[in-house]
Amino acid sequence: MTGRYILIECDNDTEVSLLKMHVKKSAENRIIGEFIRPDTFCSCGNWTSENGQPAVTQTRIQKLGWRICTQCMKPIPVMDFLVNQIKPQDIEKPFTEKIQLPGKAPSELGFYCVGISLPSMHASAFKKQS
């Protein structure tokens, strides 16, 4: 049977804590990623560029994966690579698979979500078409 990944968005830390407690009670599920979304964004617009390259008025916060405007210091509305806040060694009971390649010693692999990409889209894209 194949496994599944779901992505659930929570708007506050209380909901995150409740969800984590519920998942941890399950013997068959585990939390393998947590990503922090900004709750306010830059409206300066100085971080845009015409040639597709990041403008010099933006920088990246490596720990979170956010790009921020260097003028107002707020995140810009681009979440192209949010960084997983759960380190591989902190994942409880990770999924692993034993493999045997021809001519090689048996090996066991785990799978880790380094980051996720959430490109911005116009809000109308989320409305069902009738």
- Identify the pLDDT of residue 55: 65
- Residue 20 falls inside a structural domain: yes
- Residue 4 falls inside a structural domain: no
Please, which residues have CB within 8 angstroms of residue 97's CB and are 6 or more apart in sequence? 108, 109
d(CA 107, CA 41): 45
In this structure, what are the phi and psi dihedrals at residue 26, rounded to the nearest 5 degrees?
-85, 135
Which range marks the domain in which residue 31 is found?
Answer: 13-120
d(CA 60, CA 53): 14
- Residue 56 falls inside a structural domain: yes
Locus of tokens 């509305």: 77
- Residue 77 falls inside a structural domain: yes
- Residue 3 falls inside a structural domain: no
- Residue 111 falls inside a structural domain: yes
- Residue 103 falls inside a structural domain: yes
- Asked whether 69 and 58 are in contact (CB, 8 A), the reply is yes
The percent of residues above 70 in pLDDT, for the chain, comes to 90
pTM greater than 0.75: yes
Number of structural domains, the chain? 1
- Identify the pLDDT of residue 25: 84
Using the 8-state DSSP alphabet, how is residue 60 labeled?
E
- Residue 71 falls inside a structural domain: yes
Q: Which of 53, 50, 51, 81 is nearest to 67 (CA)?
A: 81
